Structure 1
Amino acid sequence: MDAIDQKIVAALTRNARVSYAELASNVLLSRNAVRQRIERLERQGHISGYTIVRGGAETGELVSAFVLVYRQDRMRGGDVLAALTRIPEVVICEILSGDFDIMVRLEAASLERIRGIWEDIAQMSGVRDTVTALTLSSVVNGRRREATP
């Protein structure tokens, strides 16, 4: 581990969900270089896990948002999907027909965390654009209707 790796590990220790963009700014590297260093540190065992504390989860104070994602290439956008599955706050990720490629529902402990995830998604290689909408209230949640024959 060099000095930059140590700075990255220290920043992740303070906030395990800090965005690649913020880390890159702090260590004066590109976002992609920071991502590659983190992946190497994970492979080498310097980073062996992340802890998530879902503040507000017990009291129902989660912030929810939908992120509609346009990919550069719909047919070869598997890297975007793989990256989205690694974000713990992603509770729904669906491929859509029509104008948008992917619909992601986020649930996080704060609006700031939603913003950080949005930044991460918007900066992913293979993402052309995003549209984000915050959930103001939930009318129906989790109810399934039986199909009638």
Structure 2
Amino acid sequence: MPHLDAIDRKIIAALQADGRQTVQDLAGQCGLSPSPCLRRVRLLEESGVIKGYTAVIDQEKVGLPVSVFASIKLERTREEELDRFSMMIARWPEVVDCYLMTGPRDYLLRIVVRDVQAYERFLKTKLTRLDGIASIESSFALGQVKTSGALPVLEG
């Protein structure tokens, strides 16, 4: 893991708030001139600290208002089964988050869909057809209290 100093953390926090800002604006926020600021951004990108840039999209405005959390228990948790499950899940755009978990369930998925019927189709045509699944528990989100892709880097 690369060492992050206070300026790196400022750069990361500023880019998380607005990834489209100019190098001049970013440099001003971080107390640098543009050239050294750009150099630091490039180093953060090359080291993998900054993995990429993306737009934050409103789920409802693109017709995908429903979030479903599915807890998955596999029949066996050998490496081959975990890898096979992960490879299949990675192919499905409906699954926007997938975590390997500790505790009674092996995976937690967040699935976004248009409506309950779309989730039922996803469940029947994709998820339940995977070999090695012992159980699936689905929970529908009633509302979103907080969402943030930003990490609390200034606190570290």
TM-score, normalisation: structure 2:
0.53
Mark the runs of 5 or more structure 1 residues left unpaired by the alignment.
1-55
Would the aligned equivalents of 1:79 and 1:126 in 2 still touch at CA under 8 Å? no
Unaligned runs of 5+ in 2: 1-58
Relative contact order (alpha carbons < 8 A, sep ≥ 6): 1 or 2 greater? Answer: 2
Which structure has the greater CA radius of gyration? 2
**After the TM superposition, which parts of structure 1 deviate over 6 Å for at least 4 consecutive aligned residues?**
none
**Residue 68 of structure 1 aligns to which amino acid in structure 2?**
S
Deviation at 1:145, TM superposition (A): 4.7
Structure 2 residue aligned with 1:124:
130
> What is the aligned residue count?
94
Residue 75 of structure 2 corresponds to which residue in structure 1? Answer: 72
1:69–1:102 contact (8 Å) kept in structure 2: yes
CA–CA distance in structure 2, aligned partners of residues 124 and 59 of structure 1: 28
Distance 1:59 1:90, change over 3 A: closer
The answer to whether residue 102 in structure 2 is matched with residue 102 in structure 1 is no
Normalised TM-score (structure 1):
0.56
1:144: how far off?
A: 3.3
| Pairing of 1:1-149 with structure 2 (within 5 A) | 57-58=60-61, 61-75=64-78, 76-77=80-81, 78-119=83-124, 120-146=126-152, 148-149=155-156
CA contact (8 A) 2:97 2:110 kept: yes
Deviates more, 1:75-84 or 1:128-137: 75-84
